[in-house]
Chains A and B, each alone.
Chain A
Amino acid sequence: MSDHPTRRDALSRVARGTVLLGFGGTSVFLIDKADGQVVWQVDASRCVNSRLGDVGAPVCALCTTECVVQQSAVRAVNNFRECGRCYICPAYYNIKSAVDENGLPSEKLCPRDAIERKPIGLVDPEDPANNFYEYIIDEVKCDGCGICVKGCKEPLGLGSIILKVRHDLCVDCNHCAISKACPKEALARQPVETALEPTLAAPATR
């Protein structure tokens, strides 16, 4: 028998190598996933509701409609470091609605009434514009529809409200249904360190 490998042997080795590599890659991915090193997260700089530009684009609600979790694992999150604490917040109010007797927009923006508006400190009874306001999202009500995110987007707002996958709600599918549907590839696996910013990592209250 000849010591020289035949073409069949060579092809067989290549095939085995490919399978092993693929298996190895999958194993590494599964180990990473098991260790919690990578998780699904929304990239705000890609999400059409929050990324700069696309001012006239309609609100995208795919995070609400595509998630396999009944009330979506995606929630709107207000990054208080960036929030302007505005008197008239375009994520809280429908700023195109008629002005009421107090000089404020007469309609709220959130269809689930999931944002609470609270003055910070003492209220100036003479002039309510003389206060800063805190906008707190009730994550029990929120379903991640993105309407407030779009309302807060630059240049209308400051872009402090963004969508985030809440990992106590996410079932961590191998191939996230939202990521398959998202036209901007805004749902991607991210390392835990970047996916869970400390100030935004508060778990949703069920």
Chain B
Amino acid sequence: MYKQTQVIGGKGEGAPRFSQTLRSITVDGSERLYAVGDSELKVFEADGTLRRRWPTSMPGHAVAVAEDGSVYVGESGQVEIFDRDGKLVSTWRDPERLGRITAIGFASGCVLVGDAADRAIRRYDLNGTFLNDIGRNNRMQGFRIPNGVIDFGVDADGIVHATNPGKHRIEHYTPDDQLLGHFGRFDGIDPAGFPGCCNPTNVAVAGRERIYVTEKAEPRAKVYDFQGNLIAVIATDVFDPNCKNMAIAVDRRGRVYVADTVRLEIIVFEGDAES
């Protein structure tokens, strides 16, 4: 069983709030929460207080924190890389491969970038040199994302777990683009399945054990084991019903963070010992 323990941010003016958009969240090893919305990145302490914020050159669609503390922000047509203090270190632009960046992750010393415009995940080395695509070598020539967002998480072994919402699946890939398998099926009644036209929309991965997902219409957060067995429905009725593409993150203590994209707040859930 999970229960809501905290609400961070919210719609409005003022430094800790978001005025128009809240698109992506992530949590670093120190349990600091990073959120991109509007044209700004905000860093919150575990207790929800705003630690710092800095502007991005465009509205951010994705955020990720590397092991060295660098902060990667995905935008339309580019990735901005900041140091831990918010100083812009580098900007990657690749007109052919960086369309609309809705997810960023790290695997085996590489940077993975989800390009929703081309329905593929790009793999780059740390210097920004392109290595290979993930998820394009199939009949659909990419992920099936009517919802307009690519999302993925990387587990402790470097395996990429990507949403393929139009197929109602989570797919597992090696960084060099081998499809290892998938789980998930459509079901509009059984909570173990994924409902609607295209779910799950977003995903987060914890270690080698758990895969957390969010769904739209009706908005819901759930957790599965790596075999695809439903462990728990984390929350259903706490989100605005118009929510779509709710970013999800999990910290090392198993606390789950979900971005309500309409109320522009980050809702924190904690499970009991069984969860």
Q: Mark A147-167, 1 if CB is under 8 A from B, else 0.
A: 000000011111000000000
A171 CB within 8 Å of chain B: no
Given contacts A84-B146, A87-B144, contact A97 B188 (CB under 8 A): yes
A56 CB within 8 Å of chain B: yes
Residue of B nearest to A56 (CB): B241
Instruction: Given contact pairs A55-B242, A124-B139, A132-B140, enumerate 16 new A-B contacts (beta carbons under 8 Å).
Output: A53-B242, A55-B217, A84-B146, A84-B166, A85-B146, A89-B197, A90-B196, A95-B196, A96-B188, A98-B189, A99-B185, A99-B186, A99-B189, A99-B190, A131-B139, A155-B217
Bound complex: CA of A156 vs CA of B201, how far in Å? 12
Q: Mark B168-185, 1 if CB is under 8 A from A, else 0.
A: 110000000000000001
A36 CB within 8 Å of chain B: no
Bound complex: CA of A170 vs CA of B197, how far in Å? 33
Q: Is the CB of A155 within 8 A of B242?
A: yes
A181 CB within 8 Å of chain B: no
A105 CB within 8 Å of chain B: yes
Q: Is the CB of B166 within 8 A of A129?
A: yes
Residues of A with C-beta under 8 A to B189: 96, 98-99
- Could you list which residues of chain A lie within 8 angstroms of chain B, going by C-beta atoms? 52-53, 55-56, 84-90, 95-99, 103-105, 124, 129-132, 154-158
Given contacts A130-B139, A155-B216, A155-B243, contact A95 B198 (CB under 8 A): no
Q: Is the CB of B198 within 8 A of A84?
A: yes
Q: Is the CB of A158 within 8 A of B186?
A: no
Given contacts A84-B166, A84-B198, A86-B166, contact A154 B244 (CB under 8 A): yes
Q: Is the CB of A158 within 8 A of B146?
A: yes
B197 to chain A, nearest CB (A): 4
Residue of A nearest to B241 (CB): A55
In the complex, which of the residues A85, A98, A130, A156 has the most CB atoms of chain B within 10 Å of its own CB atom? A156
B167 CB within 8 Å of chain A: yes
Bound complex: CA of A28 vs CA of B168, how far in Å? 55
Residues of B with C-beta under 8 A to A132: 140
Within 8 A of A (CB), among B123-153: 138-140, 144, 146
- Could you list some 6 contacts between A and B, CB below 8 A? A86-B197, A90-B197, A99-B186, A105-B188, A129-B169, A131-B139
Bound complex: CA of A55 vs CA of B262, how far in Å? 13
Query: Dominant SS at the A interface?
Result: loop
Q: Is the CB of A95 within 8 A of B188?
A: yes
Residues of B with C-beta under 8 A to A84: 146, 166, 197-198
B60 CB within 8 Å of chain A: no
Which residue of B168, B241, B244 contacts A88 across the interface (Cβ within 8 Å)?
B168
Q: Is the CB of B195 within 8 A of A95?
A: yes
Bound complex: CA of A56 vs CA of B241, how far in Å? 8
Residues of B with C-beta under 8 A to A89: 197
Residues of A with C-beta under 8 A to B241: 55-56
The 3 closest A-B pairs by CB, nearest first: A84-B146, A155-B244, A156-B217
Residues of A with C-beta under 8 A to B146: 84-86, 158
Residues of A with C-beta under 8 A to B187: 99
Q: Is the CB of B242 within 8 A of A129?
A: no
Bound complex: CA of A129 vs CA of B167, how far in Å? 6
Residues of A with C-beta under 8 A to B242: 52-53, 55, 154-155
Bound complex: CA of A25 vs CA of B93, how far in Å? 57
Within 8 A of A (CB), among B85-138: 138
Bound complex: CA of A170 vs CA of B196, how far in Å? 34
Residue of A nearest to B145 (CB): A84
Bound complex: CA of A154 vs CA of B146, how far in Å? 11
Q: Is the CB of B216 within 8 A of A86?
A: no
A166 to chain B, nearest CB (A): 27
B147 to chain A, nearest CB (A): 8
